[in-house]
Structure 1
């Protein structure tokens, strides 16, 4: 009898232990699914192929020449963002980033284990708050033709990625669309409904190829809550579809603390108001202010992680690898080809 009782208690203890293990595994799984273990620390490196073609070399902290992507990974970067333009020129600064070039670079990054974001500008060159020019080939399209072009082009590029074994985790349907895109038809201040429908064309095309990919609507000035409320209220009221609210943030060395706090307040408001996730798609700061830039990056990463309901997805640095390139002075690289100490912030 005593042996049977002891055996029964041993079996009970084993069952109890198994239950505890399953409970712990479930907790860890929930923790990971909340985004805590998958926070994106990213870099837009769309200029990198052009820099390499011009002979630029990249060196790690010890001075060893390496692939720039490997150096970024050593500094905590786990995601790569790439812009794509419709029919770009061959200009090394204001051109390239064609569909084929984007696919080649995305495949290269994905093969190294990076998560991928594709940033559709829906233009032949830069699209931002001050300019949202239609691709030359789309200039004379009526609005129905323009919607078809957005849908068809988006789907075509993403199918190219898919056929090359690349699944983007995120897709931006437009870049810094503070006043819409594809002006004048899609200028939000003149016709919010048109803008919403164009966004939906990009959204629907993305989901047709990659149903699980998250679609981002991206604005600049992440600290400007009134801008975000106006634009996303407009999209919502006109049936606009998006999964993530993307932000850019380029504070100065003097105001970064206040701008970061305003950005956090805005992110929390966006989550509360629309129930959507948020992401910082672009940041940058003067490359000569290494220690200040480091503090800025650490702080905005921590603030994005702290967004309510775990809906802060990540932070991306814009063209950190730039040094002596295109007059751009907000990278995270020194003029000797090595990363600056600011890039170490992504290791935190």
Structure 2
């Protein structure tokens, strides 16, 4: 990172004390004590949506969405970070620090999601950042991952914004930082290379935590539960073991597992690898309609028969999946992306949102808060913990 960029980034950060809460710290008033559990929301789109004119409402009145999530019992905000995107001014370090200040002001912790890409990294693709594309060796790439991760966290730490948790990669089913000429469908992961990159990111988080005196937890994240156990077995065999949390994406549309299968996978992962497990992405539509020309990514093919595409069906899905996570020893749930509402702004693929039918806000009523918010305070049975299988 250049000194000029370092100075620019430092100047964008507002001071505040470090937020290293236990995961239930902001839930003290939600009911009887229960084991530590993350109730999270990915709010990476909020700044952009508000800049595009979106107004979020509760009981007809405009609200700060960060405060709304905190007031309804959420305790963790997930935020994505791209390296140097040239196609958007959002999910940059400047934008993320703006969001982190808002999360801190609301009393919530932050899960910072390093994509290690200038664009979306997901279960189907992992694009290397342009600035690193010419680095010829694994050692050089690992050094770049380390320095970027360490510098970013130290910038945040100096301003009291060290995150509670850090994702080293996003949905890293495929090999990290690949190129578009790779035969992705047939390529076998080079675990010597892959492990070196993960270890570099993990070491950077550990070193930054020690230097700052405020150590984030470390998550590794895989899309869809059926892919997780073989991936973590391969990672373990390659020496990638110094992490704290297994993160899972679960979208029924793209997973062959039902909700019971998700629960079984959580128990199996807990037993085999001894890590906390968090469903760090899930979502469900409250309608099949849309508010704009942008096609909904979660359409009728997403639906589970017992949960119709209604506000009540969305809430029922969330309470069912949360109880399943709890009953199988999981440690949290994060909803993606409850605030990506429809506006007049354009995406690469159309005007509006591709997710407004799966948010927590009703576009038919001026983005009024939906019943889904109440899932956090549902009276879950915290005694129903299934035996963890080894």
TM-score range, shorter chain: 0.7 to 0.9
The match for 2:113 is 119
Could you state the TM-score of these two structures normalised by the residue count of structure 1?
A: 0.82
Match of 2:368 in 1: 338
Aligned pair in 2 of structure 1 residues 327, 156: CA closer, same or farther (>3 Å)? same
Find the residue that maps to 1:131 and give its secondary structure: coil
- What is the deviation of 1:200? 1.0
Q: Which residue is equivalent to 2:324?
A: 303
Distance 2:353 2:262 in 1: 28
1:8-87 matches, within 5 Å, as: 36-60=34-58, 62-87=59-84
- Aligned counterpart in structure 1 of residue 341 of structure 2, from 304, 307, 323: 323
Partner of 2:209: 210
Q: Which position in structure 1 is the counterpart of 2:349? A: none
CA contact (8 A) 2:248 2:278 kept: yes
Q: Over residues 118-169 of structure 1, what are the superposed CA-to-partner deviations in whole Å (9 max), with x where a residue is unaligned?
A: 0000000100012210111111112211101111111111112111212312
Indicate the residue corresponding to 1:162 in structure 2: 157
Match for residue 314 of structure 1?
332
* Alignment correspondent of 1:219: 222
CA deviations 1:58-97 (Å, max 9, x no partner) are 111x111111111212322111000000001353xxx521
Map 1:97-108; keep pairs closer than 5 Å. Answer: 97-108=91-102
Structure 2 residue 189 is the aligned partner of structure 1 residue 190? yes
Kept in 2, the 8 Å contact 1:321–1:339? The answer is: no
Could you tell me how far apart the structure 2 residues matched to 1:150 and 1:173 are? Answer: 10
Superposition deviation, residue 37 in structure 1: 4.3
Residue 176 (1) aligns with residue 202 (2): no
Deviation digits for residues 30-55 of structure 1 (CA, Å, limit 9, x no counterpart) = xx9xx934311000010110111111
1:248 maps to: 249
Judge conservation of contact 1:193–1:235 (CA < 8 Å) in 2: no
Tell me if 1:201 matches 2:200: yes
Structure 2: segments with no counterpart, 5+ residues? 1-27, 288-308, 343-351, 379-390
Specify the alignment match of 2:270 in structure 1. Answer: 271
Bigger drift between 324-333 and 115-124 goes to: 324-333
Q: What are the Cα deviations for residues 312-348 of structure 1, in whole angstroms up to 9, with x where unaligned?
A: 2210001201222432242221102112112221222
**Which has the larger share of helix?**
1
Deviation at 1:297, TM superposition (A): 0.8
Q: Which runs of 5+ in 1 are unaligned?
A: 1-31
- Tell me the number of residue pairs that the alignment of Structure 1 and Structure 2 aligns: 301
CA shift, 1:285, in A, is 1.1
Match of 2:230 in 1: 230
The TM-score with structure 2 as length reference comes to 0.73
Paired residues of 1:192 and 1:238 also in contact (CA < 8 A): yes
CA distance in 2, matches of 1:193, 1:232: 15
Change (3 A) 1:305 1:203: same
**Deviation at 1:284?**
0.5
Q: Determine helix, strand or coil for the equivalent of 2:166.
A: strand
Work out the CA distance in 2 between the residues paired with 1:117 and 1:190. 27
DSSP 3-state at the match of 2:77: strand
Q: Is the 8 A contact 1:301 1:315 kept in 2?
A: yes
Tell me which residue corresponds to 1:9.
none
| CA RMSD, 1 decimal | 2.1
Change (3 A) 1:37 1:164: farther
Q: Contact 1:218–1:246 (CA<8 Å) still a contact in 2?
A: yes
